[in-house]
Amino acid sequence: MKTLKNCLFPVVVLLLFTGGGCGQKWTEENKGSFSIIRNDDGQTLGFSPASGIEILTIKRLAFKDLNKNGKLDPYEDWRLSVDERALDLVSRMSIEQIAGLMLYSSHQSIPSVGGGFGPEATYGGMAYVESGVLPGDLSDQQKKFLTEDNLRHVLITSVESPEVAAIWNNNAQAFVEGIGLGIPVNTSSDPRHGSDSYAEYNAGAGGEISMWPGTLGIAASFDPELMKRFGEIASMEYRALGIATALSPQIDLATEPRWSRFNGTMGEDPDLATDMARAYVDGFQTSEGEAHIADGWGYHSVNAMVKHWP
């Protein structure tokens, strides 16, 4: 027994000096309005200190206590599979919360100053120009549909600038992170890159976005690699704006030239439209290198929502 103790002593000393015994296996980086937590050999987390949630340390790893109950629930455990986490989250949701995830917001301009889509919003009961708020702040109506209506899918249109769009998205994420189960906002957009008459969408990025032919124009090149490259560039710009979902591509076949959405298609040929749609989605959704998580999806990916259904 004495010999065993003598052997164990240097091992214990080594563990103490190397942090092998009890040190946390995550680091936190303050980014101003939000923080980034990097777990060693684990998931990277983002959170807002303003949301009021706590960070739990379980087995030296960091997890977000999204429902503020002081313990790690399965849907908060990034070590579990997506299916396991989703099933646990659904079991905790009310019918109203589930219904909210099946709905979409009306068009939202940032800031909401009226004109274009929808009426002018209010900020603290006042018009934007009278309120003194910052352009990236949430409006009264946005706070209402996020809390009372349980909406999380938000469609943005015009924004004052890319910076304001990103700030608004961060503010929206911080707001919902602190309420209910902490379900995030899914910020989305209709196509924004077309050099066409839809100037409202182009102005949506404050003019600071790459201009491309519409999908019909790119399809006319008969080059799926060009379409994929567009998707790769557009996805980077969407992410910079805080947009996680592209309400595109439009894969309706262009069989009726009188249809007003003809120019958003990829032509009348099913094979060409198939190849172009696949390239579009691959460009938007693929992440590589350190940004890759699984199956091509990762931190640089933008969800491509294929439309329309007959």
Q: Is pLDDT above 90 for 20?
A: no
Please report the pLDDT score of residue 113 as a whole number: 85
Please report the pLDDT score of residue 211 as a whole number: 87
Element (H, E) at 90: helix 82-92
Please report the pLDDT score of residue 14 as a whole number: 40
Please report the pLDDT score of residue 117 as a whole number: 63
Please report the pLDDT score of residue 17 as a whole number: 42
DSSP letter for each residue of 128-163: HHHH---TTSPPHHHHHHHHTS---EEEEEEES-HH
Quick: pLDDT tens for 33-55: 899 999 998 999 999 999 999 99
Quick: pLDDT tens for 79-134: 999 999 999 999 999 999 999 999 999 999 999 887 666 678 999 999 999 999 99
Q: Is pLDDT above 90 for 293?
A: no
Element (H, E) at 105: strand 104-110
Please report the pLDDT score of residue 98 as a whole number: 98
Specify the DSSP class assigned to residue 261: T
Return the amino acid letter for 215. T
Query: Look-up: residue for tokens 């007003």?
Result: 260
Residues of the chain with CATH 3.20.20.300: 104-304
φ, ψ of residue 204 in degrees (nearest 5): -60, -20
Quick: pLDDT tens for 169-183: 999 999 999 999 999
Q: What is the pTM of this model?
A: 0.87
Burial (CB < 10 A; 0-12, 13-18, 19+), residue 233, is: middle
Q: Is pLDDT above 50 for 295?
A: yes
- pLDDT (mean) for 255-261: 88
CATH 3.30.230.10, domain 104-304, yes or no:
no
Residue 19: pLDDT band (50, 70, 90) is very low
Q: Is pLDDT above 80 for 198?
A: no
CA 69 to chain centroid: 25
Dihedral Cα 127, 205, 172, 98, nearest 10 deg = 110
| pLDDT, mean over the chain | 89
